[in-house]
Amino acid sequence: MKIIDKYILSKFLTTFFFCLILFTAIVVVVDISEKADDFAKSKLSFWQITTDYYFGFIPRIDAMLFPLFVFISVIFFTSKMAGRSEIIAILSSGVSLKRFLLPYLIGAFILTGLLWGGYQYLVPRANRKWDDFQKHYVNVGRTPTPDNSSYKQNLYFRIDANTYAGIKGYDTISKTGSNIAIQRFANNQMQYNLRALSFKWDTVKKNWILNNVIERDIHPINETVKFSQAKMMNYSFKPIDLRKDEYLKDQMTTPDLEAFIKLEKMRGSEMLSTLQVERYNRDAIPVSVIILTIIGAVLASRKVRGGSGFHLALGILISVTYILFSRFSVVFATKGTLTPWIAAWLPNFIFGILAIYLYYRAPK
């Protein structure tokens, strides 16, 4: 790596982290002003609020805006270099545009790896911490919506290839429910039926405890009925599988999310597309860092009359367009018929073509 490469790479990374810290500080100050009353009512110490809330809030927000921070950073420091005619001097010395972009790509790959690792493990844990704080201290007493209510009603799903479960009501906080029915079929005929008035999750033995149980083994001619006051059952579904809220997918690490997707696919769940879009986005969004870095470097390397202001305005316009493409593709996948992996990767594909076009149109 030559001196000029180290110079550009150091400018890239220092500008990015300065931008990240600055915007994070602004967002935190705004958030504190909005939630000051909630923090006061919670009667938690400053350290508890920091560890229980902001250790979840900050990674969540930074991951969401990470590609935008990278893009703005590249636009900003590259535009400054172009304004001082540094890029003209570099290209005039015989350095090709491809070679000039090498330190940008090195920095982009470093940041892509950082964001990818965060999306697989760190961000889901941060989302869980943030959501737990919201439920206990911020959204207390507010009317729950059907998507995020802790009490779920009329759940019906597949346990395995031949067994189905129906639940009238389930509380995700206390992990207790009422009126559960288990039915097993073979050759389009019911072979087993279980009904219980109530059930709860045993956190020690990691099993379900059913109360007032009636079991029926159905034979071709007769049936066997068995009554139990209490019965412990080891079903394949766990409490987390009964949480059908909008934040569940965001709180799972990628290995847990993949296992959950496999289970929901077997059950024929209606939320399968949403889960798959989330899984593919965890790979697609980090790759957008590389694409936006190339676009930003190529656009800002040209010296124009408007200077940094023009480049920043153009960069913000492209960023907003990218976000709109991402939102539209997600909506079409979750509410329509668009394939989830296409929805996740479509913005990268479109803006990848734009990056190639701008590269070949850039002055060499």
The yes-or-no verdict on residue 244 having pLDDT over 70 is no
CATH class of 151-241: mainly beta
Confidence class for position 17, pLDDT limits 50, 70, 90: very high
The yes-or-no verdict on residue 43 having pLDDT over 90 is no
pTM of the model: 0.78
The span from the CA of 292 to the CA of 322, in Å, is 9
The pLDDT value given to residue 192: 92
3-state secondary structure the chain: CCHHHHHHHHHHHHHHHHHHHHHHHHHHHHHHHHHHHHHHHHCCCHHHHHHHHHHHHHHHHHHHHHHHHHHHHHHHHHHHHHHCCHHHHHHHCCCCHHHHCHHHHHHHHHHHHHHHHHHHHHHHHHHHHHHHHHHHHHCCCCCCCCCCCCEEEEEEEECCCCEEEEEEEEECCCCEEEEEEEEEEECCEEEEEEEEEEEEEECCCCEEEEEEEEEEEECCCCEEEEEEEEEEECCCCCHHHHCCCCCCHHHCCHHHHHHHHHHHHHHCCCCHHHHHHHHHHHHHHHHHHHHHHHHHHHHHCCCCCCHHHHHHHHHHHHHHHHHHHHHHHHHHHHHCCCCHHHHHHHHHHHHHHHHHHHHHHCCC
Confidence class for position 274, pLDDT limits 50, 70, 90: confident
pLDDT in tens, 89-107: 888 888 888 888 899 999 9
The yes-or-no verdict on residue 350 having pLDDT over 70 is yes
The pLDDT value given to residue 123: 92
Average pLDDT over the chain reads: 85
The yes-or-no verdict on residue 25 having pLDDT over 80 is yes
Of 63-77, 120-134, 268-282, minimum mean pLDDT range: 268-282
pLDDT in tens, 303-339: 766 556 666 677 778 777 887 878 778 777 777 778 8
The yes-or-no verdict on residue 246 having pLDDT over 80 is no
Structure tokens at 98: 């491809």
The span from the CA of 315 to the CA of 320, in Å, is 9
The span from the CA of 300 to the CA of 101, in Å, is 12
The pLDDT value given to residue 178: 92
The yes-or-no verdict on residue 294 having pLDDT over 70 is yes
Domain boundaries, the chain: 3-140+272-361, 151-241
pLDDT in tens, 162-191: 888 999 989 888 889 999 999 998 888 889
The pLDDT value given to residue 362: 75
Number of Cβ atoms within 10 Å of the Cβ of 44: 17
Please provide residue 42's backbone torsions phi and psi, each rounded to the nearest 5 degrees: -70, -20
* Dihedral (CA of 109, 112, 117, 120) sign: negative
pLDDT in tens, 280-292: 999 999 999 999 9
Residue range 199-224: mean pLDDT, rounded: 90
